Chains A and B, each alone.
Chain A
Amino acid sequence: MSLTFAISPFLIIAFGAMALMLSEAFAKRSNGLALGTTIVFAAAGAFAMAVWLYGLEDIEGLDTLTPWLVVDRFSLFFDVLLCLGGALAALLAGGYLPEHNLDRGEFYSLLLFSTFGAMMLAAAGDVLTLFIGLETMSIGAYALTAFRRASAKSAEGALKYFLLGSFAAALLLFGFALIYGATGHTDLVGIGAALKAGASKQPMVVIALVLILAGLAFKVSAVPFHMWTPDAYEGAPTPATTYMAVAVKSGAFAMMLRVLLTAFGDPSSMSWSAGWPPVLAWVAVLTMTVANLIAGRQESVKRMLAYSSIAHAGYILVAVVATMRSQTLAGASVLFYLLTYTVSTAGAFGALILCGRRGAEAVSYEDLSGIGRRHPAAALPFALFLVSLAGIPPTAGFFGKWFIFRAAMESGLTWLTIIAFINSVIGAYYYLRVLVYMYMREPAAGAPIAVPMRSGYVTAALLVSALLVLALGLSPTRSLDVAVQAASFGG
C-alpha cells in the first residue's frame, strides 16, 4: 500500500475542510454543515482505523516522512480519538449554534483545521512540525473561544487564552532552541540519542527541560498554569468548550508523551531523583487538589466543568509520571483515560447544552433545579455522564481511573495514588451536587428555569457518547488492548 493510504486521515480532514468551506461560501443556506463536518471526521477516523487494521509494516515509503511525521499506532490511536472529539463537538454545534443565533459556517472550518493541527501534533517527530501543529491547533481554539463576538465574556476569555497561550508557545520554543544548541538535533529521536550519549548533564538541558515542561503544562492546563482555563471555557460557546476540553487537551497530552518519552527518555532526565518525573508529580498533586477544591465552590455548572477538566488533567499527569517505570502500561492508561474522558466530558457539555435554550440557558446549579422531574429525558444523560466523570461503575470513568491508579501503584508511586484517590472522592462531591439539584430540589418561586431545547444533532451526540460510556464501562478489555498497542511506540 502506498503512502497516501497512511496519511489518508490527514488528507481527508484537509480536503474535507476545504470542500465544506467552499460549499459554505457559495451555498445560500448552510444547514448541512454540521452533518458534513461529522461525516468528514467519521471518514478520517474510519481511515485511521483501516490503516491500523491493515498494519503499518506493509506500507512502503513511510520513511519519506521522517523525521517530520511519525505514522505509528500511537498517532493512529490519537487520530481516531481526536476525530471522535471533533465529531461530537461538530454535532453539538449543529444544535447549539442555530439555537443561539451564532450559526456561521466558519465554526466548522475552524473545528476541522484545528483538529488537523492536533493530529499533526500527535504524529510530530520533529520539533518543527510539532510547533506548526501546536499553533494550528491553538489558533483554531483561540478563534473558537472568541466566536461569540458580541459577548464581553467571550472576548475576555479569548484574549486571556491568546496572550497566555502565545507566551507558553514562546517558552516551549525557547526550550527547543536551547535543546538544539545542546544536541544539534531538532528531531525527537536525534535529541533523545544525543541526550543518552551524555549531553544531558549540562545546565542548559535542565533549563530547556524546565521551559518545555512549563509550555506543556500550560497546554494541558495544569496548575499553576491554569489561569486561562475557567475564563476561556466559560466564555466560549459550549461546543467550542467541548472541543477545547476534549480534543485540544488530548492533542496536548499526545505531544507531552511523545516529547518526554522520545526526547527525554535518558536515565538522567527520566528518573525519580532528577528530570521531569518529580516535577510533574508535584504539578499533578497541585493540579488535582487545587482544581477540585475550587470546582466545589463554583456556582456555574459550566465553570465547574472547566475546573473539573483541570482536575482530570491532574489524574492523567499521575499516569504520565508513571510512564517513567513502565511506558506501555502507564502510557496505555493515559490513552484509555483520554478516551473515557473524551466521551464523558463531551456528553456532559452536550447535556448542559440540551438542558437550555435561547434566553433560558442552563448555567448555574439553580437553573437546573428540578429538571430531573420536569424533563427526565434531558436530565438522565446528564446524570450518566456526571457519574462517569466522578468515576463510579459501571461507567467508562471508573475504568479510566482504575487503570491509572493501577499503573501508578505498579510503578511504586503509592503516595501519588493515594492523593489521586482522595481527590477523586472530593471530585465526586461536586458532580453529585448537580444530581442533587436536578432530582431533589425544586426551583425557587419566580427564579429563571432552564427549558430544554430540541435538536437531532445534540441528541445524536448524546446517544453516541452514552453508548461509548456504557460500552467502555462494561467491557474495557478490548479498548485497553488497543491502548497498550498504541502506547508501545519506539522511544
Chain B
Amino acid sequence: MHMTLGDWYFALCGLVAVLGAFVTVSNPNPIRGAMGLLLMILSIAGLFLSLHAQFLAAIQLIVYAGAIVVLFLFVIMLLGPSAQSPRDGRGKIARYFGGGLFGLAFMGGGFLVMRGAKWAGLPPVDADFGGIDKFGQVLFSRGVVPFELSSALLMIAVVGAVAIARGKHKGEES
C-alpha cells in the first residue's frame, strides 16, 4: 500500500495522540500525566490542521493547551506532594483485566468498522473552509440555534461549579 505524505502525517499525529493519552492515564506522577495530556492535545491540533480546520486547531491550542493544562498544573502545584497518588496494589488485576478487555473490544470493533466501511461521500470543502470568517458565518447563520443553546450549557456549568465549590454558609452543617 502506497502512503502519501498526508497519510504519514496522520499516522504520526494519531500515534503521538494515543501515546500521550496512554501516559495521561497510566503515569502515577500527575505532572507527567499533565504533560501527556499536553502531548495529546498538540497532536490532535495537528490532526485538525490536516483536516483544513486551522481555526479549530488554533482554538484547541489556546483553550486546551494554553488554559486547561496550565490550570491543571496550578492545581497540582497547589496540592503539592499530596497530588501524588499513593501506590495502591488493590484491585490491580481487575483493573488491568478490565482495561485490557475494553481495549480489545474497542480494537475489535474498530477492525470491523474499517473492514466493511463504505464511508458516505461528503462533498469537498471550499477553499476558505475552516478559516475564521467562514466559521463565523456558519456559527451566526445556519448554526445559530445550537450556538444559542450552548449558552445554557455554559451557564449551568458555571452555576454548578459555584454551587459545589463556594465557601460555607453560616450555620451550614460541617
Contacts and interface: CB of A to CB of B under 8 A. Distances in A.
B149 A114 contact: no
B164 interface: yes
A150 B172 contact: yes
A65 interface: yes
A324 B160 CA distance: 39
Interface residues of B, number: 31
B63 interface: no
Interface in A192-215: 194, 199, 202-204, 206-207, 210
A139 B156 contact: yes
Contacts of B150: 132
Nearest to B144: A68
B152 A143 contact: no
A149 interface: yes
| Dominant SS among interface residues on chain A | helix
B149 A107 contact: no
Interface string B133-174: 000000000000110011011011101111110000101111
A102 B172 contact: yes
B122 interface: yes
B58 to A, nearest CB: 21
B112 interface: yes
A110 interface: yes
Given A117-B152, A150-B172, A207-B112, A181 B117 contact: yes
Interface string B3-38: 000000000000000000000000000000000000
Interface string A155-187: 000000000000000000000001011111100
A395 interface: no
A116 B118 contact: no
Nearest to A141: B160
A128 interface: yes
Interface residues of A, number: 50
A113 B159 contact: yes
Interface in B110-135: 112-113, 115-122
A280 to B, nearest CB: 19
B164 to A, nearest CB: 5
Given A106-B162, A107-B163, A207-B112, A113 B152 contact: yes
Interface in A60-81: 65, 68-69
Contacts of B145: 65, 68-69, 129
A459 to B, nearest CB: 25
Contacts of B118: 182, 199, 202
B163 A204 contact: no
Nearest to B122: A184
A68 B150 CA distance: 12
Contacts of B149: 68, 120, 129, 132-133, 136
A136 B120 contact: no
A135 interface: yes
A147 interface: yes
B103 interface: no
Contacts of B66: none
A140 interface: yes
A68 B146 contact: yes
B98 interface: no
Contacts, number: 110
Contacts of B99: none
Contacts of A149: 164
Given A69-B145, A113-B159, A203 B169 contact: no
Contacts of A206: 112
Contact of B152 (A136, A182, A210): A136
A162 B168 CA distance: 23
B119 A181 contact: yes
Contacts of B169: 104
A128 B142 CA distance: 13
A150 B174 contact: yes
B152 A106 contact: no
A388 interface: no
A142 interface: yes
A180 B121 CA distance: 11
A458 interface: no
B153 A117 contact: yes
A113 B155 contact: yes
Contacts of A102: 172
Contacts of B113: 178, 203-204, 207
B109 interface: yes
Contact of A101 (B153, B157, B159, B173): B173
Given A100-B173, A102-B172, A140-B156, 14 more contacts: A101-B173, A106-B160, A109-B159, A110-B159, A116-B152, A117-B156, A132-B146, A143-B163, A181-B120, A182-B117, A182-B119, A202-B117, A207-B109, A207-B113
9 contacts: A21-B159, A65-B145, A110-B159, A116-B152, A135-B153, A150-B172, A181-B120, A204-B116, A206-B112
Interface of A: 14, 17-18, 21, 65, 68-69, 100-102, 104, 106-107, 109-110, 113-114, 116-117, 120, 126, 128-129, 132-133, 135-136, 139-140, 142-143, 146-147, 149-150, 178, 180-185, 194, 199, 202-204, 206-207, 210
Q: Top 7 A-B pairs ranked by shortest CB distance?
A: A143-B160, A184-B120, A106-B163, A68-B145, A113-B156, A203-B112, A204-B113
